[in-house]
Amino acid sequence: MEDTRWLTDEEQQVWRRLVHLVTVLPAALDAQLQRDARLTHFEYLVLAILSETPGRSRRMTDLAGLVNGSQSRLSHLVGRLERRGLIHRERSTEDRRGSVAVLTEAGWAAVVAAAPGHVAHVRSLVFDQLTPEQVRRLGDTLAAMLDRIAPADSCPGPTNPC
């Protein structure tokens, strides 16, 4: 116990705020997307990643890594999105063993319809109360934390936004 580097009072306060944020933010994002687009945030994230990928398709294993979800969770989610006509699966042309999730035209339309409200909500929750300097510092802080926790190639998006 003597070697433990305990958090300072300030670090403890910041840590508790961060834990609270990562707890309440997903629920707030889910509530808006479910109300306005009948999508969960996880569903929206999958559709958005596919919409930004050339060919609007990704290997299921790659997609699971990008959304930080298990293969099983992603498979169930893609099944639900398939039943709604937003995604379809096909065999990989590379090895014929893997599956590829492909965004349908209806899926594209769903992302296009949901994006403006989602972006407005994200702006309202995260950015509107911050100055440009605070946004830059937050970006730098998150990048430093992600460098320690998640490799850069695990970040979603076509140009590695992490």
Give 24-61 pLDDT, tens digit per residue: 999 999 999 999 999 999 999 999 999 999 999 999 98
In tens, the pLDDT along 131-157 reads 999 999 999 999 999 888 886 655 555
Distance CA 158, CA 71 (A): 21
Q: Kindly report each contact of residues 92-101 with a partner whose C-beta sits within 8 Å and lies 24 or more positions away, as own/partner.
A: 92/59, 98/59, 98/60, 98/61, 99/59, 99/60, 100/57, 100/58, 100/59, 100/60, 101/46, 101/50, 101/57, 101/58, 101/59, 101/60, 101/63
pTM recorded for the entire structure: 0.84
Top CATH class of 9-129 equals mainly alpha
